[in-house]
Amino acid sequence: MLQSRHLLSGLGLSLMIATLSANAAGLTAEHKAFGKTNDGTPVEQYILRNSHGMQATVITYGATLQSLLVPDKHGKSTDVVLGFDDVQGYQKGTAYFGATIGRFGNRLADGAFELDGKRYQVPQNDKSNALHGGTLGFDKKVWKAEPVKDKDSVGVTLTYLSADGEMGFPGNLTTQVTYRLTDSNELRIDYKANTDKPTVLNLTNHSYFNLAGAGNGDILKQVATLHASHYTPVTGKLIPTGELAPVAGTPMDFTQPTAIGTHIKADHPQLKFAEPKQGGFDFNWVLDTKGDVSKVAAEVSDPQSGRHLQLYTSEPGVQFYTSNFLDGTVKGKGGKVYPHWGAFTLETQHYPDSPNQPDFPSTRLDPGQTYSHSVVLKFSAK
């Protein structure tokens, strides 16, 4: 059942909670206006801070991680996620900077799937595919927000009700996303959802990271480790073939620390599918951690700043994407230009096109079940 695949093990969650600092004195939160959408809907921002110079800013438009300040090895904090300074940037943007993705993260072949013998059609917005929930996914919605705080963290819970039939998906779906910042320099994201009809669901966060600082060059010298011995190869339409292929002997092998740029231009057909002109990574890796949130699923470090990111997740896969379609024309926060290969994503998820791939872990959600998905982003510097 989907429920058993998504619910965290009590042991794994206990281990994660046990690592959190009990010192909450430095945890603070601020809530203020961020502007209005083109139709006049107010958008709010929640600014979460800890005692070590880390700060996460979440806006209600798209339940988006708008900013993430992380200290480097000298203690200087810099924003490490791409984004915009105003609501209109996010409204016009097509890159999903920092957004909560739903109902279905990644691609659906032909924008369609079958459930209990009935075919459902999602608007196609990636050539013949439906990408990240269709033309108006969760990233383009204004969510309701409530602050949350406990002895170990400060955060915000965002809620959105997706009506039956929205973007072609069945069921009235209520989704909650909670961001929490701890004094151990961890940003935790927890997802929960319930439906009143059988549906499919695959939620993720689409933050673009550059550990040297957003807009500070490319990420080719940053060093990645993906604890994944297999990945899901794709066709020329970027739809999985259904195979779980070994990474050994391919440019997709990040089982040992490897600079992102080492093989990004390799003469390999999969890289050409991801970016025909120069190559790049845009694939789902099958995590060896198998949903155990006490184990590191992926990690990236920046030799220059010393920043190090460790990712923990309850999901079976992660989409590692190297911003192949950024081309230097997008101006982001502070007027900085975001270049080609200027960031990477780590989108924790079930595998792409899962509703059409019977051998992949199921993304079905039934009434009475609770979808649950947790991510921890732990930062350090040395």
Query: Catalytic one among 52, 166, 347, 373?
Result: 347
Write out the DSSP string of 84-119. Answer: -SSHHHHHH-SS-TT-EE-SB-SEEGGGEEEETTEE
- In the chain, the largest separation of any two C-alpha atoms, in whole Å, equals 58
Q: Which residues, at least 6 apart from 18, have a Cβ–Cβ distance to it below 8 Å?
A: none
Cβ atoms 174, 159 nearer than 8 A: yes
Catalytic residue at 315? no
3-state secondary structure of 20: coil
**Long-range CB contacts for residues 86-94, cutoff 8 Å, separation at least 24:** 86/34, 86/35, 87/34, 87/35, 87/36, 87/37, 87/43, 87/59, 87/61, 88/35, 88/38, 89/332, 90/59, 90/61, 90/62, 90/64, 90/139, 91/37, 91/38, 91/61, 91/140, 93/330
Answer whether 118's CB lies under 8 Å from 103's CB: no
Q: How far is the C-alpha of 205 from the C-alpha of 139, rounded, in Å? A: 10
206 catalytic, yes or no? Answer: yes
Distance from C-alpha of 28 to C-alpha of 153, rounded to nearest angstrom? 9
Question: What is the DSSP code (8-state) at residue 9?
Answer: P
DSSP symbol at 171: S
Residue pair 317/349 in contact (Cβ under 8 Å)? The answer is: yes
Q: Which two tokens stand for residue 4?
A: 């058993």
Structure token pair of residue 346: 């780590």
Q: If you ran DSSP here, which 8-state letter would residue 362 be given?
A: P
Considering 206, 308, 350, 373, which one is annotated as catalytic?
206
Which tokens belong to 373? 């998905």
Count CA atoms within 13 Å of residue 303 on its CB side.
10
Q: Which two tokens stand for residue 188?
A: 């935790």
Q: 149-181 burial, b if ≥16 CB within 10 A, otherwise e?
A: eeebbbbbbbbbebeeebbbbbbebebbbbbbb
Q: Which residues have a catalytic role annotated?
A: 206, 347
